[in-house]
Amino acid sequence: MNCILLPVFSIVKYQILFYTKKTKIIKFDKNIILKRNTAMTETYAVPAIYQAIQERQKNTPMETPIQIAVCGSKSITNRALLLATLAAGRSTLRGALFSDDSEHFLHCVQDLGFQTDVDETAKVVTVTGCGGAVPKGEAHLYVGSAGTAARFLTAYLGISQGVYSMDASAQMRKRPMAPLLDSLKELGCEILYKEETSQEGHFPFIIKSHGFQKDRITVNIDSSSQFLSALLISSCLSKEDFTIYVEGTHGQSYIDMTVKMMKQFGVTTTPLYYCGGNSESHSCSGCVNSTVPMGYRTAAGQSYKAAEYQIEPDVSAACYFYAMSPLLGIPVQVEHVHFDSLQGDVAFLRILEKMGCRALEEKEGIVLTPPKNGVFHGVTADMSACSDQAITLAAIAPFADAPTTITGIGHIRFQESDRIRAIATELGKMGIRCEEKEDAVTIFPSQPKASLVETYDDHRMAMGFSLTGLRAEGIVIDNPLCCKKTFVEYFDVLDRTVQKLLSR
């Protein structure tokens, strides 16, 4: 992974800046000077550009949207990598994401013996799958902090035939794995803990797999929908019809993505619902709880087909830029993001509409326009379908006209950080009142004070709280490089966006 230079910006009015070898001065008009420190830093001083943009809009309202391109989707890239390994033949994945998480996944695929060709410049990966077989019967895999690699590969190897040593970063070692491991043990897989200090239900461990010993299992997804997605993708390798019963309802949008991508590669799995009238489990659309499946059945005899596959832009990444619309009062368009996306985070745009924005579907991508009066509303939002954007909403909530309550997010306490606690802590340091609950947080509006934002090595904390600094002076992001987990160039793209806005 190549390091990137993260520039530090600050907006200064009527102030003389001294020029040094490490500093470039770019003058946009007599009132605004942009100072750029090109040296590598461990912090990122967010440019507070809100007032400058408002002054400009008084004279020339911004009617043409600022256009932004983002990286490929992490969720789709990593699912496509696994589906390609399970297919028979050579698949080509275009628009692939290259980040810490996706590269860990790719390296694991290579360590298992699959043939790959990688063109990072063109964002293309080709994988030659073996029709469900794993080339190596023994391997050591390191998944880093990639939750998708950790869960998807564990499930795949757990129903294969072989012995696999699995390890992860210190961060991933803290995240839950027990529900998936318990399901694999139901199927006859042995899970051995190779270190005396290992905690049961967590990395590191050794998988001794013996294929499918049963035709049905139960998995709990309260802490992560990835457990179910992992088992679904590999379910077609069973020689019999295979049924997965589900406990919990978390992350249905990600499960829907998995089911749709399975179908794109040639395998159909059928959702099951519970019919209260005759105590029967079957596939239908009119039963009690029919909107949330109680399980899935994958018919035997299906197999994945190699494919030419175009990966969508990362909607999670796009949402940071769409949030600038109400925050800065500007129209925003992210290229090739549409409401028919496979990604659940597109629901975040509907929340921004409730706050007063307007979303327009256009050929080049959705255009989001700000509230006409420049004031956006506080909302109560169930973000269970787009929980990766909880931090994004929390970061702009202090500037709303009323309190904002985010619900349905209890599971984010078990992600890269305890995100509910991190939100409340970092906003509290800025003088923003928050009320924290087990699965929710309420943010009360107030002008944030200058603060150093701790990111907890959580990429979404770094990217999300950069938004706060666009409208509040003195916000500095600690350890901005943690964004390389999913969006290596985030702060470069942010810098380019700032320059575009100030040069209009």
> Which pLDDT tens digit goes with each residue over 380-391?
999 998 999 999
Of 259, 290, 310, which residue is a domain's last?
310
Judge whether residue 285 has pLDDT over 70.
no
Confidence of residue 288 (pLDDT cuts 50, 70, 90): low
Token reading at 22: 């490490």
Domain assignment of residue 10, yes or no: no
300 plus 393 within the same structural domain: no
Judge whether residue 34 has pLDDT over 90.
no
Judge whether residue 22 has pLDDT over 80.
no
160 plus 281 within the same structural domain: yes
Confidence of residue 292 (pLDDT cuts 50, 70, 90): confident
Number of domains in the chain: 2
What integer is the mean pLDDT of 221-230?
Answer: 94
- Report how far apart, in Å, the C-alpha atoms of 90 and of each of 265, 268, 306 are: 12, 21, 6
The C-alpha atoms of residue 304 and residue 412 are separated, in whole angstroms, by: 32
Domain assignment of residue 29, yes or no: no
The C-alpha atoms of residue 447 and residue 432 are separated, in whole angstroms, by: 8
What integer is the mean pLDDT of 272-277?
Answer: 74
205 plus 353 within the same structural domain: no
The C-alpha atoms of residue 330 and residue 332 are separated, in whole angstroms, by: 6
Which residues constitute the domain of residue 182?
74-310
List for the chain the helix, strand, coil content (%; round to 5): 35, 25, 40
60 plus 100 within the same structural domain: no
Residues noted as catalytic: 388
| CATH code for position 207 | 3.65.10.10
282 plus 344 within the same structural domain: no
150 plus 223 within the same structural domain: yes
Domain assignment of residue 170, yes or no: yes
- Report how far apart, in Å, the C-alpha atoms of 344 and of each of 217, 349, 497 are: 26, 10, 25
291 plus 352 within the same structural domain: no
Domain assignment of residue 283, yes or no: yes
Cα 61–chain centre separation: 33
244 plus 361 within the same structural domain: no
272 plus 213 within the same structural domain: yes
Judge whether residue 30 has pLDDT over 70.
no
Q: What is the pLDDT of residue 49?
A: 98
Q: From start to end of 306-403, where are the E strands? A: 308-310, 332-334, 358-360, 367-369, 380-382
Domain assignment of residue 267, yes or no: yes
228 plus 206 within the same structural domain: yes
Domain assignment of residue 21, yes or no: no
Domain assignment of residue 237, yes or no: yes
Of 310, 331, 363, which residue is a domain's last?
310
286 plus 320 within the same structural domain: no
pTM of the model as a whole: 0.84
250 plus 346 within the same structural domain: no
Of 259, 282, 310, which residue is a domain's last?
310
Domain assignment of residue 4, yes or no: no
The C-alpha atoms of residue 88 and residue 502 are separated, in whole angstroms, by: 51
